[in-house]
């Protein structure tokens, strides 16, 4: 069989990043009965010295990309140097209020502030939360909720653009959030169970968009988007068998972003694929890199009915598909799809040495050990080829192909745990 073609993809990086952080902080509390007041203040000094040197070489069928018959060119070269000093001031004060012992209602209200000398942005974030446990209910149930403003001052990785330059005027990403949930403890079949649920909504502005490049995050270095995230998470804990807690969980989430200046032309082609007309369009609301609609997890434990020293667990995790970005493409941003994630793990444990030290001989080499466990685990039992990212390569005609980067296949793990 003749090969269709051959190519080469090579990346090189010789980067150097030194970050020094000095921090001084004070925290205090004051108990006034129904009011429990907390406060804090910190001063932080950051010094950043960064040297960036990266290049990328692509070859297709013996031709260097981008192809130039007169000279050798690399596909991408990034060189930059940054020396930054930042002073950050942060503080907070919060009052935890118990209204009445008979109502079971508590309120947490406070405010946090941030200031940094890099972009000289002063941020104030008020927040309030509550919990309520109905005192006269037979059910053991606690309701909770919170609403507030959350500001995230940029750290160095958000400042750096794709081309390596640093945006020292980058603003903090800002959001307001609201959450609500409950905890419910109950008995079923004379065994304890606990159900938790939480719903949330997060509205964001001054967002710094980012892409996932293999296993690292690449930020735009600009406040170019608005975004939101909303979802629901539920989990049930319980002892299906006595003294062996298991759980099952399910989560739903949707996260979208709308970038500024994300216009592109949509071309109308003739029968020979030549453009004959074009329409200017906007990207609009697109999936964020973390947009996973469904996540399901289950963890089960059991042991031999005649001997609790022999245990087994089963862990199952499923996550629906994720988007993946095509760099420098406005029309097809986050248009690639990473197939759903699925994994099953199983483990077997045996107690080799119990905690009864009194039964050991004085000259025994294990006399000072609490216990020793041996465990055999099989990770990714079904040997599924889960994809974490894509490697984007080009051919001579400049067409892009996505090559999946796979996670670990089936793996055996043997471990010995000794406590003393």
Among 248, 288, 281, smallest CA distance to 267 is for 281
Whether residue 342 is predicted with pLDDT greater than 70 in this model: the reply is yes
pLDDT in tens, 148-164: 999 999 988 899 888 88
CA atoms of 14 and 81, how far apart (whole Å): 12
Can you name the residues that pair with 83 across neighbouring β-strands?
Answer: 49
- Of all residues in the chain, the percent with pLDDT exceeding 90 is 52
pLDDT in tens, 375-413: 999 999 999 999 988 887 776 666 777 888 899 899 999
Instruction: Return the residue matching tokens 């039992």.
Output: 381
Confidence at residue 179, expressed as pLDDT on a 0 to 100 scale:
97
Averaged pLDDT score across all residues of the chain: 87
- At residue 81, what are phi and psi to the nearest 5 degrees? -145, 135
- Average pLDDT of the residues in 115-126: 94
CA atoms of 285 and 176, how far apart (whole Å): 19
Confidence at residue 284, expressed as pLDDT on a 0 to 100 scale:
87
| All residues at 6 or more sequence positions from 240 whose CB lies less than 8 Å from its CB, including other chains | 191, 246, 300, 301, 302
CA atoms of 127 and 107, how far apart (whole Å): 11
Check: CB of residue 22 under 8 Å from CB of residue 45. yes
CA atoms of 303 and 240, how far apart (whole Å): 11
| All residues at 6 or more sequence positions from 323 whose CB lies less than 8 Å from its CB, including other chains | 286, 287, 288, 289, 291, 334, 335, 336, 337, 338
Confidence at residue 356, expressed as pLDDT on a 0 to 100 scale:
67
CA atoms of 158 and 119, how far apart (whole Å): 13
Whether residue 252 is predicted with pLDDT greater than 90 in this model: the reply is yes
pLDDT, greater one: 15 or 329: 15
- Indicate the range of 206-215, 348-357, 361-370, 388-397 predicted with least confidence: 361-370
Check: CB of residue 245 under 8 Å from CB of residue 301. yes
Burial 342-351 (b: 16+ CB within 10 A, else e): ebbbebebee
Q: Which two tokens stand for residue 194?
A: 């606990």
Confidence at residue 61, expressed as pLDDT on a 0 to 100 scale:
62
What the chain holds in terms of domains, given with CATH numbers, is 172-419 (2.40.170.20)
- Average pLDDT of the residues in 251-260: 95
How many CB atoms neighbour CB 63 within 10 A?
14
Confidence at residue 330, expressed as pLDDT on a 0 to 100 scale:
81
Check: CB of residue 307 under 8 Å from CB of residue 288. no
pLDDT in tens, 268-282: 887 777 888 888 888
CA atoms of 323 and 325, how far apart (whole Å): 7
Check: CB of residue 1 under 8 Å from CB of residue 50. no
- Average pLDDT of the residues in 326-332: 79
CA atoms of 254 and 239, how far apart (whole Å): 32
Exposed / middle / buried, residue 381 (Cβ in 10 Å: 0-12, 13-18, 19+): middle
Instruction: Return the residue matching tokens 């862990």.
Output: 315
Check: CB of residue 28 under 8 Å from CB of residue 40. yes
CA atoms of 104 and 110, how far apart (whole Å): 20
pLDDT in tens, 59-92: 766 666 666 667 767 777 888 888 999 999 999 9
Check: CB of residue 192 under 8 Å from CB of residue 238. yes
pLDDT in tens, 129-140: 999 998 888 889
pLDDT, greater one: 163 or 30: 30
| All residues at 6 or more sequence positions from 189 whose CB lies less than 8 Å from its CB, including other chains | none
Check: CB of residue 346 under 8 Å from CB of residue 380. no
- Average pLDDT of the residues in 240-261: 92
pLDDT in tens, 173-228: 999 999 999 999 998 878 889 999 999 999 999 999 998 877 778 899 999 999 99
CA atoms of 238 and 244, how far apart (whole Å): 8
| All residues at 6 or more sequence positions from 2 whose CB lies less than 8 Å from its CB, including other chains | none
Confidence at residue 2, expressed as pLDDT on a 0 to 100 scale:
43
Coil, strand or helix at 34: coil
Confidence at residue 53, expressed as pLDDT on a 0 to 100 scale:
87
Instruction: Return the residue matching tokens 């390596």.
Output: 164
């Amino acid at each position: 069989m003749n090969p269709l073609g051959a190519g080469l993809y090579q990346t090189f990086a010789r980067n150097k990043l030194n970050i020094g952080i000095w921090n001084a902080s004070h925290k205090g509390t004051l108990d006034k009965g129904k009011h429990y007041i907390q406060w804090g203040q910190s001063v932080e000094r950051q010094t950043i010295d960064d040297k960036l040197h990266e290049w990328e070489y692509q070859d297709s069928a013996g031709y260097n990309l981008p192809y130039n018959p007169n000279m050798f060119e690399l596909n991408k070269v990034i060189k930059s140097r940054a020396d930054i000093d930042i002073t950050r001031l942060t503080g907070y004060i919060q009052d935890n209020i118990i209204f009445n012992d008979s109502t079971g209602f508590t309120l947490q209200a406070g405010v946090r502030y941030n200031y940094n000398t890099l972009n000289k942005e002063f941020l104030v974030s008020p927040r309030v939360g509550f919990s309520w446990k109905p005192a006269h209910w037979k059910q053991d149930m606690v309701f909770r909720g919170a609403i507030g403003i959350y500001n995230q001052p940029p750290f160095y990785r958000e400042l750096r653009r794709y081309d390596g330059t640093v945006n020292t005027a980058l603003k903090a990403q800002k959001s307001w959030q609201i959450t609500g949930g409950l905890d419910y403890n109950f008995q079923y079949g004379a065994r304890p169970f606990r159900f938790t649920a939480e719903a949330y909504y997060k509205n964001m502005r001054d967002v710094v968009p980012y892409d996932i490049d293999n296993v690292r995050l690449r930020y735009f270095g600009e406040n170019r988007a608005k975004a939101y995230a909303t979802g629901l998470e539920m989990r049930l804990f319980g002892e299906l068998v006595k003294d062996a807690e298991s759980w099952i969980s399910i989560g739903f989430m949707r996260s979208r972003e709308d970038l500024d200046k994300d216009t592109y032309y949509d071309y109308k082609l003739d029968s020979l694929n030549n453009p004959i007309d074009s329409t200017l369009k906007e990207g609009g609301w697109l999936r964020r890199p973390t947009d996973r609609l469904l996540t399901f997890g289950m963890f089960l434990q059991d042991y031999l009915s005649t001997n609790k020293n022999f245990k087994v667990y089963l862990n199952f995790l499923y996550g629906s598909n994720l988007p993946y970005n095509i760099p420098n493409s406005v029309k097809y941003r986050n248009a690639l799809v990473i197939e759903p994630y699925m994994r099953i793990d199983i483990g077997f444990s045996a107690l080799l040495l119990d905690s009864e030290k009194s039964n050991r001989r004085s000259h025994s080499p294990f006399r000072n050990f609490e216990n020793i466990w041996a465990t055999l685990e099989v990770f990714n039992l079904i040997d599924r080829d889960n994809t974490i990212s894509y490697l984007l390569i080009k051919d001579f005609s400049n067409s892009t192909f996505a090559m999946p980067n796979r996670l670990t296949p089936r793996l055996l793990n043997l471990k010995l745990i000794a406590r003393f």
